Amino acid sequence: MSENTSDDSKFHRTTPARAAASSSDPPHAAFASFGVDALAGLLTTLIALSYAAGYGAMIFSAGLSPWIAAGMPTALLSCVIVALVVSLTSSQPFMIAGPDSNGTALLAGLASALALSVHAAGGSDDAVLATVLVLIAVTSLVTGALLFALAYWKRGNAIQYIPFPVIGGFLAGTGLLLLEGALRVLTDLPVGIATPRIVMQLPWFASVPALVVGLGLLVMTRITPPSRYVIVLPSMMTLGIAIFYIGLASSGKSLEDARHMGLLFHYEPIGGARLPFALLHDAWLPALFSNAPEILAIAAVSSMTVLLNTTSIGVTTSRDIDFNREMRAAGLANLVTGLAGGLVGAQSMTRTMTNWRLGVRDRRAGVLAACFSLVVIAFFPSLMALLPKPVLVGLQIFIGAAMLIEWLINSFRRLPWHDYLLIPAIMVCIAVYGIVAGVLLGVVAACLLFVVRYGCVSCFRLEFDGRGRRSNVERTVDENRVLDAQAHALYGVALQGFLFFGTAYSILTHMRARIEAAPAAKNGSANVRFVLVDFARVHGVDASSTASFMRLRQACARANTQLVLTGLSPALKAWFAKGITDLKSPVGPHVFADLDNGLEWIETQVLNAARAANPTFAAHTGTFASTLPDTLDALRPHLETLTLAPGAYVFRQADPGDSIYFVESGRVTVALSVGDERTLRLRSFGAGTIVGEMAVYTGARRSADVVADEPTVVLRLALSTLQRLETDDPALAARMHKFVARVLAARLVVANEQIRAAQ
């Protein structure tokens, strides 16, 4: 949690002032509404200026403390610019923005290191100040440009692609840097082993207010209902200020003494702010360029903060947030404040929710907050000079500690241990090696998490054998019996997703174990003879996948099994052709356009093998006379023979259902018109099958076309003939009905098996 981020619950109540405004007459309503907006603007101004002063003190602390008076306007000015721009351009009228704590924490460490490098290279004090001020401006400009780019390419949801532990590691790292910065501001010395001893030696009115504000806010924000959060921060700040001045008075110290002790700040007039372009001739630009990776890292973390904060605000207020517009608003604000030399800014969770809970629903409160801030820093800088440094340190302690509690303690209960360990690892990396190393570790961790988690996702959409999946070719009852008996000869899988090294090996291992498994002795089943792999829903593969399928082909060859590939896109065909030699080789693998064609080829191979092994079966398949039971031989004189050329229609869609057709030789296909002169193959019927019976028995019109695929002979049984047989030869008609029922039952059995296999 940062000052821009909160775990507030949803709050939907209308404040009393806003309710009164809505029920009063228009003049009073307008006055009451303005009063609410003015109150919200004053509270926002108090919070924003306090945070900004603390951020300025954090950046210009320790070795940079001599220039705090010159550097503080950069922080205060960004309050005005960022708040005004975001208030006018945000997708939510009550949105409030200001300097970002996460970006500032990272920037403070970078500024300190940059100042040391310039001094070590022989740079003067003016060069150090100019370089640091230009660094602040450049960081804001780079952040603005990055946010604008993300908005332009509509990547407002980019935060969703960053794993939660990686985000937690970044924020925990910035929380630790905020605590370090708070101690550095309090002691005016770099943090080290001696820091606790130095803090203990400080006057009590320098350390106690910081602890009271920091720890008090931590406790009060957890025990106070969210609806009363608006009074917690001002109350704790007031208490801290009171403790400081009581201690100052009881110690006999004056305000001037407090300023000499560094407990009160001196603020230069806003007119004395140094614009970055005027400082370029004094700044050490090579030192800036050498820190370009750190600047980009700060811009990335600040952009992530914008997305996190706006997401939290949308959830808390139940509003639909336009993330691209929010990034555009924050980008514009950072570009403007960068040109003025201000700090990196972002939408603030704390200040926005203060607005929301006070009943603000328009842009006026944000504009008033910006105007009030400008008035204070331009005309009443002496008021800011009365704000004690320990109170500002207490705010930083609260922000940093809250972030560490959220991501190091609360996340421990929410995340698996292997995910949680990333958070302290990234945090320590940021603290020890810097933000660039932390970002690199986060990127590597995100990639590894993706590989591991995606590798655990099954790429098997479906596994089946010859019983669980059939082609759309209608078979005779005898052929179906053979295919059922030889169902074990086929092992098929339908793959899905992207196949890479994380999944390819598991696919190979699983399929190879199935191919090479010994046949079950108890049922005497034979080994797998055909392995079918369907790629219709595979989006892509990498080089390791092709190598794995090369080994699968070798395993099939050792097991005397034929490999069949279906659904390969042109890109996949070209990719596999590089790894599996010649896809057109007669020894395989056999490639078909889709799963249906591949299954049809396998079924044909199984039936041909059955005919070769069993002459009796061969004699009883392929002709109409031998396919029908002997009890239906008497039906032949009542059938009309039709000879069809390829492409000829047996019947058309919407024709009356007045006949049943027996396919004596050749093949016909049921095709459905789907518009634009395109047709979809539903099913094919070979010799010994019947077609058209559904419309006859339901009395409906034909639902699809039936067209001959090759020279075909069909035998037509007219409905009128069947009705006449029911009167003249009811026994023959009954046998005909029984035969149709057997065919429909066989189709239902096949359909049931396919449904079962798909579960």
pLDDT of residue 61: 84
| Interior/surface letters 193-220, b for 16+ CB within 10 angstroms, e for the rest | eebeeeeeebeebbbbbbbbbbebbbeb
In a domain? residue 11: no
User: Which two three-digit tokens encode residue 393?
Assistant: 């340190």
Same structural domain, 104 and 69: yes
pLDDT of residue 371: 93
pLDDT of residue 622: 46
CATH of the domain at 750: 2.60.120.10
CATH of the domain at 556: 3.30.750.24
Same structural domain, 135 and 170: yes
User: Which two three-digit tokens encode residue 425?
Assistant: 């690892």
In a domain? residue 8: no
In a domain? residue 521: yes
In a domain? residue 7: no
Last residue of a domain, one of 568, 602, 619: 619
Strands ordered across the beta sheet of 473-474? 473-474, 679-685, 668-673, 705-708, 649-651
Provide φ and ψ at 651, rounded to 5°. Answer: -155, 165
Same structural domain, 408 and 474: no
User: Which two three-digit tokens encode residue 51?
Assistant: 């945070």
User: Which two three-digit tokens encode residue 441?
Assistant: 């570790």
* Cβ neighbours, 10 Å, residue 45: 23
Q: Which of 425, 277, 419, 296 is nearest to 341 (CA)?
A: 277
**In a 10 Å sphere around its CB, with 0-12 CB exposed, 13-18 middle and 19+ buried, how is residue 258 labelled?**
buried
pLDDT of residue 757: 58
Last residue of a domain, one of 619, 654, 675: 619
Give Cβ neighbours of residue 655 (< 8 Å, ≥ 6 apart).
Answer: 701, 702
Last residue of a domain, one of 398, 431, 451: 451
Same structural domain, 131 and 170: yes
The series of mean pLDDT values per 10 residues for the chain, 759 residues long, is 44 43 55 81 88 89 82 88 94 91 89 89 88 93 94 75 82 89 88 88 92 93 78 90 94 89 79 76 89 91 88 83 91 94 90 83 90 89 87 92 91 86 90 83 81 77 84 81 87 88 81 71 62 90 77 84 89 74 63 89 90 66 50 84 92 91 90 73 84 90 91 92 91 90 82 66
Number of helices and strands in the chain (H, E): 31, 16
66 DSSP 8-state letter: G
Same structural domain, 297 and 152: yes
CA 748, distance to chain mean position in Å, is 42
pLDDT of residue 586: 57
Containing domain of residue 117, as a range?
Answer: 16-451
Residues in the chain: 759
pLDDT of residue 10: 36
Same structural domain, 521 and 670: no
Per DSSP, the three-state class of 747 is helix
pLDDT of residue 6: 42
Same structural domain, 652 and 613: no
Give Cβ neighbours of residue 514 (< 8 Å, ≥ 6 apart).
Answer: 491, 528
Same structural domain, 447 and 470: no
Count of structural domains within the chain: 3
Q: How far apart are CA 5 and CA 514, in angstroms?
A: 53
DSSP collapsed to 3 states, 351-387: HHHHHHHCCCCCCHHHHHHHHHHHHHHHHCHHHHHCC
Per DSSP, the three-state class of 179 is helix
Same structural domain, 194 and 279: yes
pLDDT of residue 579: 61
Q: How far apart are CA 256 and CA 262, in angstroms?
A: 10
In a domain? residue 729: yes
**pTM score over 0.75:** no
In a domain? residue 237: yes
In a domain? residue 2: no
Same structural domain, 416 and 444: yes
Same structural domain, 737 and 602: no
Are the beta carbons of 364 and 88 closer than 8 angstroms? no
Same structural domain, 433 and 472: no
